[in-house]
Structure 1
Amino acid sequence: MNTVRVDRSTSFDVAVLPELTALADRARAADGAAPFSDDLWPAAPGGTTTVALTATVDGSLAGAAYAARQGDRLAAELVVDPARRRQGIGGRLLADLLAAVPGELWVWSHGDHPAAAALASRHGLDRARELLQLRRGVGPGTEPLPDPPLPGGVRLRSFVPGQDEAAWLAVNNAAFSWHPEQGGQTLDDIRAAEAEPGFDPAGFLLAVDDAGELLGFHWTKVHPHDPNPAAAGTDEPIGEVYVLGVSPAAHGRGLGAVLTVAGLRYLAETAAVRTVTLYVEGDNAAAVRLYEKLGFGRHAVDVAYRRG
């Protein structure tokens, strides 16, 4: 019988990261969902994890888990090589993870995998959060986009680095004061985002009034690979409604629909993607209704299990 060895550290050794990335790619292909999120995974190669676990069998990497800050919470992700599943590796990693991290912890299951649900139940974790992934096609051959009217005295323009950070922070933090990750953004956060290779200020759309005051925004992104390739059937670049926010003072003016459609047109016509995805809290009924009216349908769900 093969022996599972789990090693614990505060961060992953740089030498194991390429092997771990390859393992995650195999899991993504097998499950139809990436095991690590774009939001949490940067903490791993960046060395800002709270704990990092690697599981090996006969010296070969078979799985991994890690925990890191995600907004105002401590969250975790776990992956087991598809070729090594049903051998108790996932249970061993989760048990060691829970032992290494005291107090509240949110453990993500991307794609709501049944095995993850069973594993969470065995370890007494509660299903505490559902993050819906919605999608729609854009461009030729897809459902035409609506054309909501732009409110009077409002115009759209692109984000200008070095000029718009403070205004964006004020509107974002007011719009997402309730959100565990998106609320409480700082100047360092937006500057770090601007420094990322894929940052596109032209696709970061702002709604401003005649006085130049920021009323809302739609920050779009383009990902080179679909995080859910098996479910989609292809693995090609995909657009994302990354963050959409409207100042509480500007609610009721239809800006959410205007900004969403403007971003979708940009992604279809300028970024030339054929599919756009977005993530929305399962209990945010108003946002779900808005996106469904704009042609989005449910594609997948990510679940966070909580140990409090």
Structure 2
Amino acid sequence: MTSQLPAVIERSTVIAAVEHRGMADLAVRLGWSPTEVNHVLIADFETINAWTSTETARLRSMTPEDVADLGPIHDLEFPKTYYSAGDLASRSSRGEQIVLIAERDDGSFAGYIAGQIQPDGDGYIDFLAVSPSARRTGIGMGLVVAMCQQLVSRSSTQRVCLTVQDGRAPARRLYESLGFRYDASIVGFESMVPLVTR
């Protein structure tokens, strides 16, 4: 199957539960590099429905003009990720992605969140980042609440999932304070070339 991938695909990632020793052993034998452990968190309709709006900034949908502000923080927080800031703008304009921008009172960029409905019907939060000067002001929580309310209203499973890196303790605390529950811990194993020669 990987022979059908576009040539721009330069690396492959296989994801497994942390406790899956067979996959870890295979990865070592094949020379695949492990990624940081991520934790899968889930919030269901009842949890999300109990939240009240916590907007501490003006929220609006992303426009192509936001790439200049969103791009630097997106690249810093999520290097080598699957969507660039430009991709998010394009996907948002086509209705494939929900991207909300938080602005301060003076109209300056304060942060963003991106989410989508996955093929299985779950809502999924792809990215959340708040400008360093706007952290610990409630903007992150406001973005999460607004995104989850939009996603759960469109989700056929009435739940929202996300993954958060093990080293992002402040983000984990935020999600847990809102009632997201732990589901699993996963790790990726990366190959810098496709798994099968084209």
Out of 47, 53, 58, which is 2:7 matched to?
47
Q: Is the 8 A contact 1:129 1:305 kept in 2?
A: no
- SS at structure 2 position matched to 1:252: coil
User: 1:122 Cα deviation (Å)?
Assistant: 5.1
Give the corresponding residue for 2:196.
none
Residue type of the alignment partner of 1:290: L
User: 1:295 Cα deviation (Å)?
Assistant: 1.2
Q: Is the 8 A contact 2:74 2:85 kept in 1?
A: no
- SS at structure 1 position matched to 2:107: coil
Give the corresponding residue for 1:147.
52
User: Number of residues paired by the alignment?
Assistant: 188
Q: Summarize deviations over 1:212-243 as a string: whole Å, max 9, x none.
A: 21101111111112xxxxxxxxxxx1111111
Q: Is the 8 A contact 1:222 1:240 kept in 2?
A: yes
| Structure showing greater relative contact order (alpha-carbon pairs closer than 8 Å, 6 or more residues apart) | 2
Give the corresponding residue for 2:43.
136
CA RMSD after TM alignment: 3.1
User: 1:150 Cα deviation (Å)?
Assistant: 2.5
- SS at structure 2 position matched to 1:46: coil
Pick closer, same or farther for the CA change 1:274–1:305 going to 2, 3 Å.
same
Pick closer, same or farther for the CA change 1:221–1:111 going to 2, 3 Å.
same
Partner Cα separation in structure 2 for residue 239 and residue 198 of structure 1: 18
User: 1:181 Cα deviation (Å)?
Assistant: 2.8
Give the corresponding residue for 1:104.
none
- Residues 23-102 of structure 1 correspond to what in structure 2 (within 5 A)? 45-50=5-10, 68=11, 76-77=12-13
User: 1:251 Cα deviation (Å)?
Assistant: 1.1
Give the corresponding residue for 2:194.
none
Look at both structures and tell me which one has the larger radius of gyration over its CA atoms. Answer: 1
Pick closer, same or farther for the CA change 1:169–1:253 going to 2, 3 Å.
same
Pick closer, same or farther for the CA change 1:191–1:120 going to 2, 3 Å.
closer
- SS at structure 1 position matched to 2:137: coil
Give the corresponding residue for 1:286.
170
- SS at structure 1 position matched to 2:36: strand
Partner Cα separation in structure 2 for residue 198 and residue 163 of structure 1: 12
Q: Is the 8 A contact 2:15 2:187 kept in 1?
A: yes
TM-score, normalised relative to structure 2: 0.78
User: 1:124 Cα deviation (Å)?
Assistant: 7.3
Out of 22, 25, 44, which is 1:118 matched to?
25
Q: Summarize deviations over 1:56-87 as a string: whole Å, max 9, x none.
A: xxxxxxxxxxxx1xxxxxxx33xxxxxxxxxx
Give the corresponding residue for 2:128.
244
TM-score, normalised relative to structure 1: 0.53
Partner Cα separation in structure 2 for residue 263 and residue 48 of structure 1: 31
- SS at structure 2 position matched to 1:163: helix
- SS at structure 2 position matched to 1:217: strand
Q: Is the 8 A contact 1:267 1:273 kept in 2?
A: no
Pick closer, same or farther for the CA change 1:127–1:209 going to 2, 3 Å.
closer
